[in-house]
Amino acid sequence: MSNLEYSKVQPINNLIESFHRLPGIGPKMAQRLTYYLVRMSTKEAETLANAIRDLKEKVIYCSRCHNISDINPCSICQDTTRDSSIICVVEDPLDVVAIESATVFKGIYHVLHGVIAPMKGIGPEDIKLNDLVDRINQGNVKELVLATNPNVEGDATTAYIQDLVVSFDLKITRLARGLPMGGDLEYADFVTLSRAIEGRQVLG
């Protein structure tokens, strides 16, 4: 805990320090948020406090896909209209939100909660890979869509999963790489362009 004293009032100090620990929040922003809460009505502050409490008490990880949920199994795993033979493997729960917002994927998910990142001390044992193999072992899975982030760590994790499940009778796919919508070709980097050319599609 930081020993900095932001204010002579201890509760204010405590809250500033708590905000400061959150990602992306510096000491100034923490101070601004705290003083905003001081001016907030008691009812609004209670609503916020209850929302945080509920978050910690009611949000759980789905025992099947490891996505965050308030029920177990989560609503996606329970949804019988979805195709449970296609599993989309993502790095973290926010990726599920992003893919769901595209409304095109009708399969189910598996959240790894990280990627293989040796420089952060994260190896294959530290992410939910064994559970993925267990799910495949249970049968019924026909396709694995590897949707890790398009960077070195994401690609290495994809390669590791590919090696891990190679013995299963599975279709292994990964998200297409290429140019983003709205981007100019002239600004594309070497890797993106080369992957876009590799993954070109026949028209008509």
Residue ranges in contact with other proteins by CB under 8 A? 24, 116, 118-121, 123, 151-153, 155-156, 158-160, 163, 180-184, 187-192
Residue 97's identity, in one-letter code, is V
Helix (H) or strand (E) holding 19: helix 10-20
Helix (H) or strand (E) holding 28: helix 27-39
Q: How far is the CB of 201 from other proteins (least distance, A)?
A: 19
Q: How far is the CB of 35 from other proteins (least distance, A)?
A: 22
Q: Identify the three-state secondary structure at position 31.
A: helix
Q: How far is the CB of 161 from other proteins (least distance, A)?
A: 10
Q: Which is nearer to other proteins, 121 or 204 (CB)?
A: 121
Q: How far is the CB of 79 from other proteins (least distance, A)?
A: 28
What distance separates the 2 farthest-apart alpha carbons in the chain? 71
Its sign, for the CA torsion 120, 123, 124, 129, is negative
Reference 48, options 34, 60, 27; nearest CA is: 34
Q: Which is nearer to other proteins, 163 or 169 (CB)?
A: 163
Q: Which is nearer to other proteins, 68 or 188 (CB)?
A: 188
Helix (H) or strand (E) holding 85: strand 83-90
Q: How far is the CB of 194 from other proteins (least distance, A)?
A: 9
Q: Which is nearer to other proteins, 68 or 179 (CB)?
A: 179
Q: Which is nearer to other proteins, 51 or 185 (CB)?
A: 185
Distance separating the N- and C-terminal Cα atoms of the chain: 62
